[in-house]
Amino acid sequence: MIGGTASAVALVGVGAARAVQRSVRPKKPDNFADENFALIDEDRARVVRADDGVELAVRESGPEDAPLTVIFSHGFSNRMTSFHLQRRMLADRWGDNVRLVFHDLRGHGLSGMPADDHATIDQLAADLETVVRVVAPTGPVVLVGHSMGGMSILAAARQFPELFAAKVVGVGLLSTAAEGIARRGIARNLAHPAVDGFRLAVRTSPALVQFGRATARNLIWPILHAASFRTDVSPSIAKFTYAMIDGTSVVTVVQFLRALELHDETESVAVLADLPALVLAGDADPVIPFSSATGLAAALPNAELVQVHHAGHMVHLEFPELVNDALDRLVDRATEFVRHRNPSHVG
């Protein structure tokens, strides 16, 4: 517990130091000052009902009959708009050849709140399978997941291997891990008696939740902010990201912390062995260390491993061009995979 608290304090200290450092540097032009960060929210909308009744908010861009659908699953304490720069840049690049689909995980963004015992990685995997089945009933699919979204893809591979054998033709795993979060990642950094107490209140005494909400928020949010970027980014990108994190219910964050601690899908990786894969992460990510990416890529024979130097956890917002180029290569490989695979296995 002491070590975890020290890690948390260290991360907050890093964040404070960076804030001071930025304040004395000359201001750079903000290339995203006029950015429309509501782009995904303005896309074609639908609601998908999960198997336990929770409503999942979905947005789509591109033709419904596109030859390929790419489905994006966001990370812990984010929402689907975290893929804004992928939506804007890749839609232009791919045109009518690819449909892009985004969804808010349960408890995040515009999706419904889950019961405490349904805030699990396994449930996120079931939600993902439902989204694929409803939104893309025919045709091949590439799955892209960031952080906890990537974990949900790995859990779905275990729960629904037939989906990956018949329909999924590529996977992109960004800033994620098959296991080890409790020992090395964010769960260790957020080890604190106040967070543990708030988690207990969520489960056993909902009436007490309000009293612990501010304490838990003051502990968690600075850590998530400091972990997002490890280089200087556009002030507009930073503001957008921190507002997204801050907009996530602290109940949701604490609920899913336990899921992150229990996460271990090392046996699931074998299901993905034949598929084109991308494993990409920042080597300065304090949430999920880069060693998790190297271990994951080593278990995937057809994976491209991309190390993004100096990047933090929100690598797809910190270095969007690099990430988008890697996703473009993944889609090219997935398209080639479809051409060579037995057509009866697609759709």
H or E stretch at 225: helix 209-228
pLDDT in tens, 208-231: 444 455 666 677 778 889 899 999
Question: Which range, of 86-95, 123-132, 248-257, 323-332, averages the lowest pLDDT?
Answer: 248-257
Residue 100 has pLDDT above 60, yes or no: yes
Q: How many CB atoms lie within 10 A of CB 67?
A: 13
pLDDT at 174: 98
The predicted structure's pLDDT at residue 342: 59
Give me 12's structure tokens.
Answer: 């907050």
For the chain, domain boundaries = 2-23+56-340
Instruction: Provide DSSP, 267-294.
Output: TGGGGGTTS-EEEEEETT-SSS-HHHHH
Q: 145-149, 170-174, 180-184, 251-255: which has the minimum mean pLDDT?
A: 180-184
Residue 189 in this model has a pLDDT that exceeds 50:
yes
Confidence of residue 181 (pLDDT cuts 50, 70, 90): low
- For residues 312 and 226, what is the distance between their CA atoms, to the nearest angstrom? 9
Instruction: Please tell us whether the domain made up of 2-23+56-340 is placed in CATH 3.40.50.1820.
Output: yes
Q: What is the per-residue pLDDT across 22-68, written as a single tens digit (0 to 9) for each? A: 434 456 789 999 999 999 999 999 999 999 999 999 999 999 999 99
The predicted structure's pLDDT at residue 222:
85
For the chain, counts of helices (H) and of strands (E): 14, 8
Residue 12 predicted with pLDDT over 90: no
For 72-84, the pLDDT digits (tens) are 999 999 999 999 9
* Cβ atoms of residues 112 and 83 within 8 Å: no
DSSP letter assigned to residue 98:
E
What mean pLDDT is predicted for residues 230-255?
93
The rounded mean pLDDT for the chain is: 85
What pLDDT does 123 receive? 98
Percent above pLDDT 70 for the chain: 80
Weakest mean pLDDT among 88-97, 180-189, 308-317: 180-189
Model confidence pLDDT, tens digit, residues 262-302: 889 999 999 999 999 999 999 999 889 999 999 999 999 99
Residue 123 backbone zone (phi > 0: left; psi -120 to 50: alpha; other: beta)? alpha
Determine whether 208 is exposed, middle or buried from the number of CB atoms within 10 Å of its CB (0-12, 13-18, 19+). Answer: middle
